[in-house]
Amino acid sequence: MLDVKFVVENADLVKAAMKTRSGEYDVDIVLELDRQRREILKEVETLKAERNRESAQVAALKKEKKDASEIIARMKTVGEKIKTLDDELGPVESGLRMAMLSIPNIPDKTVPIGKDDTENVEIRKFMEPTKFDFTPKAHWDIGDALNILDPATAAKITGARFTVYRGLGARLERAIYNFMLDTHTANGYTEIFPPFMVNRDSMTGTGQLPKFEEDAYAVKNTDYFLIPTAEVPVTNMYRGEVLDAETLPYYYCAYTACFRGEAGSAGRDTRGLIRQHQFNKVELVKFTMPDKSWDELESLTHEAELILQKIGLPYRVVCLSTGDLGFSSAKTYDIEVWLPSYNRYVEISSCSNFVDYQARRMNIKYRTRDGKTGFVHTLNGSGLAVGRTTAAILENFQNPDGTVRVPDVLVPYMGTDIIK
Looking at the annotation, which residues are catalytic? 260, 275, 347, 350, 388
CB burial of 383-408 (b: ≥16 within 10 Å; e: otherwise) equals: bbbbbbbbbbbbbbbbeeeeebebbe
Answer whether 219's CB lies under 8 Å from 200's CB: no
> Are the C-beta atoms of 145 and 394 separated by less than 8 Å?
no
CA angle 119, 328, 273 (to 5 degrees): 65
Using CA atoms, how far apart are residues 355 and 99, in angstroms rounded to an integer?
20
Report the alpha-carbon distance of residue 388 to residue 163 in Å, rounded.
Answer: 13
> Could you tell me which of 236, 176, 233 has the C-alpha nearest to residue 388?
176
Dist CA 251 CA 303 (whole Å): 12
Q: Are residues 242 and 366 in contact, defined by beta-carbon separation less than 8 angstroms?
A: yes
Which residues lie below 8 Å from residue 416, measured CB to CB, with a gap of 6+?
168, 406
Spatial CA neighbour of 89 closest among 48, 139, 131, 39: 39
Distance CA 329, CA 310 (A): 28
Neighbours of 62 (CB within 10 A): 12
Rounded Cα gap, residues 235 and 43, in angstroms = 39
